A and B are shown apart, each in its own frame.
Chain A
């Protein structure tokens, strides 16, 4: 009984904060838009009893999903989000791996400080940090001023409101999610393994490729999913740093909800996004399980 109540806590949590909201969104996605509050029909009217329920059920259809499939704006937005998420995950990996590697190689007394520096940005609001990038990347921004003052460029670079700014924003924001799991994997690595590799004839570089890389694979996979999954549905960064040409599904979703006030279509977009993300989430959990088995 005690065990049951212990197990039920996380399940209740999931039920209240994930399943119930998801079912609400799913229901809205099957509704039709309407000039009303809330802006969709049908709404469930329980005062009419069974008849009301039947009427409500009859009002639900897949129309919005057919609409999404027909209008190429949406699948283009999904594809573009996918491309941006994959590219920025790779970029984050390229930046994050050396940072994590450097942290494990740093003298012991430096490690808490370095760890702190990685986590420190979380102490400031995410929104403010993204706004700060606007000030850095804009045409009159700090970066252009600096580059012009040292004479590297004569014309200001146009970075803000391009995809490049989105990549910079995503890499910057999600870097800690990449660094921390890789750091954890590298930190567990027994130093004598590298000595053994050298002893058996490896140069430092081959030892890195043959021992360090494969043994930090789990960290790389975990970090990549932790960056990819939120980047896929990212809204704030493309909205603030990206231009009109930056097509991301998060932005489309926002526009459907708040500009078009088409809740049913917006909900359908969200449901499909979630279904798409379930694939990497399942893969991520498989990876975690495999790791636990390997360590077992």
Chain B
């Protein structure tokens, strides 16, 4: 997962105590009849952030975005844009623009007229509009398609027209609803980087809604993982991946092994987790205050588990198991290993050499091992 090179190095306004947020949700609740789409949600988003709302469909991420755009208003609570309550401001008066999931390009207007649409509403002079449209076309590299109609260009080009149109008015905040959802995988990956590039060039704050965790990880400065109208965790992609705060987040982002057991405090930052009666407890490091005897879950990513035929001596945790399945994915192989208790743990190895014989095969007895810092201890 790539990092946004220049910005992300020390861009962390959420950690600065005096940074002024551009968007503040304050105890916002939104109900549709009996259904609560957003449940008492409070969050700050800072200028120039690339902020992702990530979650399964129906988690409320789209509702949050539509409230920012002005198409829905909160049932309770307030939303502030630059310190101003935006509840009374209609969508056409907000310094917020949205890129729609379907792109919503006007089919009867040419590419350049689509981009000029918002500028014309502002009553700018013809020359200024033409200049701005030209600038936007250059930004998204579509200058030679200016006079085409939306149905005469490809899906990827349409996506870029939609982006140019929503950026043309230089909004304080740009909302992107599943911006890459309609593109095929390869194009999506290329476009992710373009999107990050454009965000940096324009310095606009981006809020993006997505259900694709890889996309969220790639482009975001911070990711908010949502479920049932609540934000479960807000953090940088790295924190979300390596230090999830709950089983839900650990499970939603990437592949993970969850081993449940009873915690016992050990020396310093360590806990011992008893997961099976006939096996030595697992040792894990954690900064959290874990109560003695509480039920915990150890979340370990498959790539952090080593697999070997001999018991390794240098790692604190080692369990013997039997290879149940092998998934060869080209760049990596995933081994599904059955533990004595019947639980199945996934371990990954990178296929760094082209020609090599696999050391283990189906039904082999193998050792899984990891260090005490490899997994996150989560309380449920």
User: Quick check: A206 and B121 within 8 Å, CB to CB?
Assistant: yes
Asked if A70 CB lies within 8 Å of chain B CBs, one says no
User: Quick check: A202 and B121 within 8 Å, CB to CB?
Assistant: yes
Please give, as numbers and ranges, the residues of chain B lying within 8 Å of A206 by CB-CB distance: 121
User: Quick check: A196 and B104 within 8 Å, CB to CB?
Assistant: yes
Asked if A201 CB lies within 8 Å of chain B CBs, one says yes
User: Quick check: A199 and B106 within 8 Å, CB to CB?
Assistant: no
User: Quick check: B104 and A201 within 8 Å, CB to CB?
Assistant: no
Asked if A197 CB lies within 8 Å of chain B CBs, one says yes
CB of B160 to closest CB in A, whole Å: 16
With beta carbons under 8 angstroms apart, the residue of A198, A295, A296 that contacts B92 is A198
User: Quick check: A192 and B104 within 8 Å, CB to CB?
Assistant: yes
For B94, the closest partner residue in chain A by CB is: A199
Q: How far is the CA of A192 from the CA of B70 in the complex (A)?
A: 13
A168-198 to B contact mask, C-beta < 8 Å, 1/0: 0000000000000000000000101101111
User: Quick check: A195 and B104 within 8 Å, CB to CB?
Assistant: yes
Asked if B118 CB lies within 8 Å of chain A CBs, one says yes
Asked if A130 CB lies within 8 Å of chain B CBs, one says no
A190-227 to B contact mask, C-beta < 8 Å, 1/0: 10110111111111001000110011010000000000
Asked if A127 CB lies within 8 Å of chain B CBs, one says no
User: Quick check: B121 and A215 within 8 Å, CB to CB?
Assistant: no
Asked if B91 CB lies within 8 Å of chain A CBs, one says yes
Asked if B75 CB lies within 8 Å of chain A CBs, one says no
User: Quick check: A201 and B121 within 8 Å, CB to CB?
Assistant: yes
What are 6 residue pairs bridging A and B, where the CB atoms are less than 8 Å apart in the complex?
A: A192-B104, A196-B106, A198-B70, A201-B121, A201-B122, A202-B92
Asked if B145 CB lies within 8 Å of chain A CBs, one says no
Asked if B45 CB lies within 8 Å of chain A CBs, one says no
CB of B378 to closest CB in A, whole Å: 39
CB of B122 to closest CB in A, whole Å: 6
Asked if A46 CB lies within 8 Å of chain B CBs, one says no
With beta carbons under 8 angstroms apart, the residue of B90, B97, B102 that contacts A192 is B102
A82-108 to B contact mask, C-beta < 8 Å, 1/0: 000000000000000000000000000
Asked if A150 CB lies within 8 Å of chain B CBs, one says no
Please give, as numbers and ranges, the residues of chain B lying within 8 Å of A295 by CB-CB distance: 151
CB contact under 8 A between A190 and B104, given known A196-B98, A200-B165, A201-B169: yes
Asked if A279 CB lies within 8 Å of chain B CBs, one says no
User: Quick check: B151 and A200 within 8 Å, CB to CB?
Assistant: no
Asked if A1 CB lies within 8 Å of chain B CBs, one says no
Asked if B117 CB lies within 8 Å of chain A CBs, one says yes
CB contact under 8 A between A196 and B100, given known A201-B92, A201-B118, A202-B92: yes
Using a Cβ–Cβ cut-off of 8 Å, how many residues does chain B contribute to the interface with A?
25
Using a Cβ–Cβ cut-off of 8 Å, how many residues does chain A contribute to the interface with B?
21
Asked if A17 CB lies within 8 Å of chain B CBs, one says no
Please give, as numbers and ranges, the residues of chain A lying within 8 Å of B96 by CB-CB distance: 199
Q: How far is the CA of A215 from the CA of B104 in the complex (A)?
A: 13
Beyond A198-B90, A210-B117, A294-B107, 14 additional contacts (C-beta under 8 Å) are A192-B101, A192-B104, A193-B104, A193-B106, A195-B100, A196-B100, A197-B106, A198-B91, A200-B121, A201-B93, A201-B121, A201-B169, A215-B108, A295-B151
With beta carbons under 8 angstroms apart, the residue of B91, B108, B121, B122 that contacts A195 is B91
CB of A2 to closest CB in B, whole Å: 34
Q: How far is the CA of A200 from the CA of B90 in the complex (A)?
A: 11
Please give, as numbers and ranges, the residues of chain A lying within 8 Å of B151 by CB-CB distance: 294-296
Asked if B176 CB lies within 8 Å of chain A CBs, one says no
B99-125 to A contact mask, C-beta < 8 Å, 1/0: 011101011100000000110011000
Q: How far is the CA of A217 from the CA of B107 in the complex (A)?
A: 12
For A217, the closest partner residue in chain B by CB is: B108
User: Quick check: A211 and B92 within 8 Å, CB to CB?
Assistant: no
Q: How far is the CA of A206 from the CA of B169 in the complex (A)?
A: 18
CB contact under 8 A between A199 and B108, given known A190-B102, A192-B102, A206-B121: no
Please give, as numbers and ranges, the residues of chain A lying within 8 Å of B98 by CB-CB distance: 195-196, 199
With beta carbons under 8 angstroms apart, the residue of B93, B101, B107 that contacts A215 is B107
User: Quick check: B71 and A203 within 8 Å, CB to CB?
Assistant: no
User: Quick check: A200 and B102 within 8 Å, CB to CB?
Assistant: no
User: Quick check: B117 and A197 within 8 Å, CB to CB?
Assistant: yes
CB of A252 to closest CB in B, whole Å: 42
Please give, as numbers and ranges, the residues of chain B lying within 8 Å of A197 by CB-CB distance: 106, 117
With beta carbons under 8 angstroms apart, the residue of B91, B101, B106, B169 that contacts A211 is B106
Please give, as numbers and ranges, the residues of chain A lying within 8 Å of B376 by CB-CB distance: none
CB of A206 to closest CB in B, whole Å: 7
Asked if B81 CB lies within 8 Å of chain A CBs, one says no
With beta carbons under 8 angstroms apart, the residue of B91, B102, B107, B122 that contacts A199 is B91
CB contact under 8 A between A200 and B108, given known A190-B102, A195-B91: no
For B91, the closest partner residue in chain A by CB is: A198
**Most B CB atoms within 10 A — which of A193, A200, A294, A296?**
A200
Asked if B69 CB lies within 8 Å of chain A CBs, one says yes
